Amino acid sequence: MDKRQILSKFSADPEKYYKVKLFEEQGFQRKSCATCGRFFWTMDSKRSNCPKDSEDTYSFIGNPPTKKRFDYTQAWKEVESFFVKNGHTSVSRYPVVCRWRDDLYFTIASVVDFQRVMGSKVVFEFPANPLVVPQMCLRFKDLENVGVTGRHFSSFCMIGQLSIPNSQGYWKDECIDLDFRLLTDQFGINKNEIVFVEDVWEGGGSFGSSLEYYVRGLELGNAVFTEFQGELGNHTTLDQKVIDMGAGLERFAWITMGTPTAYDCCFGPITKNLIKKVGIDIDTELLSKYFVEIAKNQGRFSNLLEVKEHAIKNVGLSPQQVTKIINPLEGIYLIADHLRTLIFAISDGALPSNVGGGYNLRIVLRRIIGTMQRLGLKLDLNEMIDWHIDYLKKTYPELKEKRDDVKTIIEVEAKRYEESKIRMQKIADNLKSKGQTPNVDDLIRMYESDGITPDYLKELEVIPEIPSTFYSRLSDLHQSVTKKEKEKLPLQNISETDLLYYKEDPHQFDAKVLKAFDKFVVLDRTSFYARGGGQEPDHGKIAGFDVVDVEKHGNIVVHELKGGMPKEGETVSCVVDSQRRDGITKNHTSTHILNSSSRNVLGSWVWQNSAFKEEDHARLDITHHSALTEKQIKEIEKLANSIVQKNLPVKIENFDRGTAEQKYGFRIYQGGVVPVKSVRIVSIKDFDVEACGGTHVKKTREIELIKITRTKRIQDGVVRIEFVSGKTAQDYVKQHENEQEKMREEKDAKEEKDKLREERKEQTREKIPLLLEQISQSPIGTSKVDEIEIHTTEAGRFCYSTSDQYDEYFHINFGEKLIKNDPKASYCGIFDAGSTVRAIIYSGEQSKNKNAGAIAKAISEIFGGSGGGNTRFAQGGGKDKSKKDEAIKKAKSMVLE
Ligand SMILES: [Zn+2]
Ligand SMILES: [Zn+2]
């Protein structure tokens, strides 16, 4: 639908769409802007232009229109007390990570808090009516503006004033009256300063008029009256009309403070602390002039750089003032903004990564670090986190509890960035040497594949500027989730299946065949669990045929059969494979336990990313920044099994969705969004509470045992835990124990062998002196001592042994000592080594031959191998074990003849 069309239609009938009671009571005049033609309402008879085209635009900078001054947290207290005084309920903020909508990663507006998806429709669920909420919102489209324009933030608080016009709520007249009094009575803004501009809103198939309210060119809020649905001209009035007034808290603070930028009054003491730390010489008057120029001229130039150049020229800033004041100041603003965004996102369970919404978080952290390095700012991230949280806790006390977790994640992520820099530097150098300037597509690809931020490339002067479309393009790519469509089956006019597995859950039952086509069967009732929530389907038999798959299409369960088909209209007997179901159920319940165990052991950022539960194995993917250590795995397993042992009841209750959210918080959406009004809450005491449609054990001890079999970091920010439970876990442990037992036995046997060998060595070593003694006394001729043959002649002595009681170790020890003891002696030790025969030769200094090497060579030839060494010691050998006698004969002849 065309917004302009709706606007022109509505503005053609202002009495019907825009004129509220207040305008009449206070004497507002409706005017058309002399410059752009837009219609607006004002009490100032002299005003002829709309706020955007007025002379007084941004004149509040340096000269605020109020006597009272409210910083960020004070401004909220003023807004809150005003609305509470006027019958509104003040609701705590919702998480910035939008767990209740599967089309959004982050909460982008206050109204999103109360939107729920029902099938394909968006419905409203209000915890109170009317209400007001200080909703933090994250938007990453304008990142390049943050810190520069004075008013763009990556996270901001959108005050939400919401009302459904019924007996408690109100409609246009009261809404505009309240907003007017908020500005005048509560904030002390002069009536003449307030301008309401006519506009329209459309989205999600519905639309309505809206009134934006401005003070001195600054849009403070926009009251949207969602009233119609359908195409313009062919539209109908909604059953549930809604007022969604969204206002920027940052702007409320800014207009009362009149600081050069909104950043100066919205981060508490942080900007001041940083300016002091960095040592910037601030000239407030000069900065006020500069930022008024920036604010007024945005939109008049094609890019921000031109706006800046224009402002610098108009204010007359010297290049030195730009480098010494403007640049570092922009950096400080950026750092303060981006860090606040990370604090909220991490507190609410998001992790920087290269997937999904994590992309945006990674990029803002890299921008913080990049800015610090570019400007040479020595800042302590932890200290800045403390400053932020200590300031914000007045409005958002929940941040205190997450202080350490935020620090942990930022530290891990900052370290990762430093580590990746070497690789990034290489790629950047490569680009530079080729003289290439990457375009937006290249930059997006480089960021996605290598994590290289354009800020970093700018720092290295690979690109002159970050293309203005980069961040919005990236944000579009990673803002919403795409859904997979299920195959369409011919299921028209078939009634919903009665789901027995949520009731008595009989594993044998009769049912009527409502439809049979291809290999698919639809029954009027079923106990076969359909694949869903990561739980695999039941198997079994329908009319004697095998059930191989079960899927849910809407509220109809479709069974896939193999081997044959029953007829439509027939009543069939059905049997669910109980053993399979039992295994799956135990694994499924274990997933809940392991998920909460992981969060307890690792940190609050752990969420279920996905899960898969089969009969004999299962896996749980959790969000976590690093691979798990052995110690962490042990701890998770230990905690999980302690829950099993405690035999806690697993309670199942059905709640209205809104009630469940209020009672348990958004932690219940571990398995994703629940697209129905009534949610099934599965709780294991307060250890784990989740919205879940799967099958669970009744008490935890039924699980028997949970055993983690493997963990793996499967993608950035996601760790997979593979596990088994129940009998499979027992079997796994047994098998594991058997393997361990076998390994232990093998180890023992080896140790025993080693020990024996050592003992033998010891014995033979002890034997040597005695042997030497006996040999030295042996007479001329041949003799034998302990398997050592001795041939003694006048010329010398030749000793040898081929006994298998001696090993290499003995031969070396003995030969060495023998020739030392008797320089005229020679020794030849022959022994088997596996499939070969080996020889150790020693020749004494005064022996006849005096050439151990030659002997080794000669006898090795006999053995069919080779050998060698020096005159004193040599070794050799070969394959032919049968030639031992021949070899000895040869050696003997060489020594004695
Ligand atoms: Zn205008
Ligand atoms: Zn479950």
Give 57-69 pLDDT, tens digit per residue. Answer: 899 999 999 988 9
Q: How far is the CA of 284 from the centre of ligand 1 (A)?
A: 30
Residue 894: band (very low, low, confident or very high) from pLDDT cuts 50, 70, 90? confident
Residue 796: band (very low, low, confident or very high) from pLDDT cuts 50, 70, 90? confident
Ligand showing the shortest atom-to-Cα distance for residue 680: 2
Which residues have CB atoms below 5 A from the ion given as ligand 1?
33, 35-36, 50, 53
Looking at the predicted structure, is the pLDDT value of residue 352 above 70? yes
Residue 484: band (very low, low, confident or very high) from pLDDT cuts 50, 70, 90? low
The DSSP H or E segment spanning 637 is helix 630-645
Ligand showing the shortest atom-to-Cα distance for residue 584: 2
- What is the token pair recorded at 313? 């020229």
Q: Rounded distance, CA 684 to CA 584, Å? A: 18
> Which pLDDT tens digit goes with each residue over 317-340?
999 999 999 999 999 999 999 999
Looking at the predicted structure, is the pLDDT value of residue 190 above 90? yes
Q: Is 85 exposed, middle or buried (0-12, 13-18, 19+ CB in 10 A)?
A: exposed
State the pLDDT at residue 760.
Answer: 79
Q: Rounded distance, CA 449 to CA 371, Å? A: 22
Ligand showing the shortest atom-to-Cα distance for residue 31: 1
Q: How far is the CA of 588 from the centre of ligand 2 (A)?
A: 6
Ligand showing the shortest atom-to-Cα distance for residue 50: 1
The beta strand positions in 527-627, using DSSP E, are 540-542, 545-553, 556-562, 571-576, 608-613, 618-623
Residue 795: band (very low, low, confident or very high) from pLDDT cuts 50, 70, 90? confident
Q: Rounded distance, CA 70 to CA 66, Å? A: 10
Ligand showing the shortest atom-to-Cα distance for residue 197: 1
> Which pLDDT tens digit goes with each residue over 528-574?
999 988 999 999 999 999 999 999 998 899 999 999 999 999 999 99
Q: Based on C-alpha coordinates, what's the Rg of the chain?
A: 42
> Which pLDDT tens digit goes with each residue over 604-662?
999 999 999 999 999 999 999 999 999 999 999 999 999 999 999 999 999 998 889 98
State the pLDDT at residue 276.
Answer: 92
Looking at the predicted structure, is the pLDDT value of residue 296 above 90? no
Average pLDDT rounded to a whole number, residues 174-178: 98
State the pLDDT at residue 478.
Answer: 64
Phi, psi of 555 (to 5 degrees): -105, 20
State the pLDDT at residue 850.
Answer: 81
Looking at the predicted structure, is the pLDDT value of residue 485 above 70? no
Looking at the predicted structure, is the pLDDT value of residue 486 above 70? no
Q: Rounded distance, CA 110 to CA 93, Å? A: 9
Ligand showing the shortest atom-to-Cα distance for residue 652: 2
Q: How far is the CA of 724 from the centre of ligand 2 (A)?
A: 16
Residue 599: band (very low, low, confident or very high) from pLDDT cuts 50, 70, 90? very high
Q: How far is the CA of 530 from the centre of ligand 2 (A)?
A: 14
C-alpha count within 13 angstroms, C-beta hemisphere, residue 664:
24
> Which pLDDT tens digit goes with each residue over 12-43?
999 999 999 999 999 999 999 999 999 999 99
Q: How far is the CA of 54 from the centre of ligand 1 (A)?
A: 8
State the pLDDT at residue 177.
Answer: 98
Q: Which residue has the higher pLDDT, 301 or 322?
A: 322
Identify the weakest region by mean pLDDT among 422-436, 594-608, 792-806. Answer: 422-436
Q: Which residue has the higher pLDDT, 637 or 363?
A: 637
State the pLDDT at residue 482.
Answer: 52
> Which pLDDT tens digit goes with each residue over 219-259?
999 999 999 988 888 899 988 899 999 999 999 999 999 99
Using CA atoms in the order 878, 882, 886, 890, what is the torsion angle rounded to 10 degrees?
Answer: 20
Q: How far is the CA of 685 from the centre of ligand 2 (A)?
A: 14
Q: Which of 62, 55, 81 is nearest to 257 (CA)?
A: 62
Q: Which residue has the higher pLDDT, 117 or 694?
A: 694
Looking at the predicted structure, is the pLDDT value of residue 479 above 60? no
Q: Rounded distance, CA 13 to CA 30, Å? A: 12
Q: Which of 237, 218, 322, 231 is nearest to 280 (CA)?
A: 322
For residue 605, how far is the Cα from the chain centroid?
8
State the pLDDT at residue 480.
Answer: 55
> Which pLDDT tens digit goes with each residue over 722-781?
999 999 999 999 998 888 889 999 999 999 988 888 887 788 778 888 888 888 888 888
| Contact status, residue 215 vs residue 255, Cβ threshold 8 Å | yes
Looking at the predicted structure, is the pLDDT value of residue 698 above 80? yes
Residue in the structure block whose two tokens are 């605020």: 64
State the pLDDT at residue 69.
Answer: 93
Q: How far is the CA of 50 from the centre of ligand 1 (A)?
A: 4
Q: Rounded distance, CA 832 to CA 801, Å? A: 12
